Amino acid sequence: MTAETDACIFCDIVRGQAGSNMVYENDVVAAFMDTSPVTPGHVLVVPRQHCAYLEDVRAEVGAEMFRVAHRLARALRRSGLRCEGVNMFLADGEAAFQEVLHCHLHVFPRFDGDSFRIDADWQRVPLQQLEAPAQQLRNGLELLS
């Protein structure tokens, strides 16, 4: 164990050293109720191995996180909880409002009048204005190869 995992509440939860309402677990991920839920039924899906950010998550672990989140989203619609839609939300880094530095995927039911909001200034821009950032992203992808 490292000092990083010693201080991580999600690591404590997956090791069974902190209380939780576990919903699902396997050898790769665990899913448990969020103690600050947006709506009733709000679940977090986390890798068992400590990974602070999405970049630290191995691709196969990320795929398993999404598979489990997909199954939980389907379960929410059948659970009897109020669920007119489902959001999956992953905040990667402090600037993106990540509060616990252990990568986690939020899965929560949505319904008319709930309190969750994402406030942004969504503006349509011409395609030509998107070419420069698109090229920068393509360059970033090349650097990963």
pLDDT tens digits, 117-132: 988 999 999 999 999 9
Cβ–Cβ under 8 Å, residues 44 and 104: yes
Window from 3-7, 37-41, 102-106, 118-122 with minimum mean pLDDT: 3-7
Q: Is residue 57 part of a domain?
A: yes
Residue 99 lies in a domain: yes
Number of domains in the chain: 1
Mean pLDDT, range 61-85, rounded to an integer:
98
Q: How far apart are CA 145 and CA 140, in angstroms?
A: 9
134 in a domain, yes or no?
Answer: no
What is the reported pLDDT for 118?
Answer: 87
Domain of 34, in residue numbers: 3-113
Comparing 4-13, 18-27, 35-44, the range with the smallest average pLDDT is 4-13
From the list 42, 50, 102, 104, the catalytic residue is 104
The answer to the question of residue 13 being in a domain is yes
Give dist(CA 33, CA 90) in Å, integer: 15
Q: What is the pTM of this model?
A: 0.91
pLDDT tier, 137 (very low <50, low <70, confident <90, very high otherwise): very high
The answer to whether position 118 is within a domain reads no
**Does the active-site annotation cover 104?**
yes
